[in-house]
Amino acid sequence: MIDLYYAPTPNGWKAAIMLEECGIDYHPNLVRLTEGDQFTPDFLAISPNAKIPAILDHDPAPGWGDAPVPVFESGAILLYLAEKTGRFLPAASDLRGRKEMMEWLFWQVGNQGPMGGQLSHFRNYAPDDQKSYGFNRYLGEYDRNLGVLENRLAGRDWILGDYSIADMLIFPWAFIAKPLGASLDAFPNVAGWRARIKARPAVQRAIDLNKSDQNRGRHRVDNNKVLFNQSAASLRSGPREGCS
Ligand SMILES: N[C@@H](CCC(=O)N[C@@H](CS)C(=O)NCC(=O)O)C(=O)O
């Protein structure tokens, strides 16, 4: 069994999608980000960056020893599960395929994800008088990344040869383009790829997990003491009091 530490956000969906696609026995644990669950010592022991998703694998593959394996960071989680199951990644002998998988994995966690996350922050949470510079900057970067994706998907159904962890990692941040204030109208390859992934039953199950707990822009920077204005002190002082 795998414990999934999760909230219904794009980064949370990535891990849930992979677990659902693989049919792995998992237990979803909702991490209440606005309550500060991410700063509890138990959670930090698994996810030292104080963010979801994270997993604790109670049945590691042979060679890992008997102790449960904690994994944090969405890219590392999907790679760990793909290597464990041998699914949704190019064969070990396909060196060029493996190299491309790593390129798109790092592109997602280093470019598309953070730019989308900052865009969400400035669109949904920044005070109106401080919005415009950040919003324009990250909308431009998010749009640029859609352009990168559009070019990659020209003449392809999937990011790599077959549906893979690269698609699962990249999909959630393209899935929410509209709520981020962006449009896929100029990106037909991305729109078609997004629709193909969205139609997968495993993906539907993952994005329906704890759906009623989705944020949907309800929390404002001025009424949420946990999610915003974090610093290293947040890691030391535990839930609720961590952020000034
Ligand atoms: N690079 C991380 C990003 C994870 C991330 O930003 N998670 C957000 C939710 S989408 C989170 O846990 N936020 C809680 C907080 O900022 O306190 C990954 O890909 O796993």
Each residue of 119-149: pLDDT tens digit?
999 998 888 898 999 999 999 999 999 999 9
Cβ burial of 20 (10 Å; 0-12, 13-18, 19+) is buried
Cβ atoms < 10 Å from Cβ of 13:
26
In this prediction, residue 194 has a pLDDT band, given cuts at 50, 70 and 90, of very high
Q: How far is the CA of 14 from the centre of ligand 1 (A)?
A: 11
Mean pLDDT over 210-224 rounds to: 68
> If you average pLDDT over every residue of the chain, what do you get?
93
Sign of the torsion formed by the C-alpha atoms of 216, 165, 209 and 110: negative
Q: Which atom of ligand 1 is nearest to the CA of 227?
A: 17
Mean pLDDT over 151-159 rounds to: 98
CA distance linking residue 44 with residue 37, whole number of Å: 9
Q: What is the pLDDT of residue 38?
A: 94
Q: Is the pLDDT of residue 95 over 60?
A: yes
Q: Containing H/E element for 151?
A: helix 132-152
- Interval 166-182: pLDDT, tens: 999 999 999 999 999 99
**Where are the domains positioned within the chain?**
2-89+206-237, 95-200
Task: Check if 242 has its Cβ closer than 6 Å to any atom of ligand 1.
Answer: no
Task: Check if 120 has its Cβ closer than 6 Å to any atom of ligand 1.
Answer: no
2-89+206-237 fold: Glutaredoxin (3.40.30)
Q: Residue with the nearest Cα to atom 14 of ligand 1? A: 51
95-200 has CATH 1.20.1050.10 classification = yes
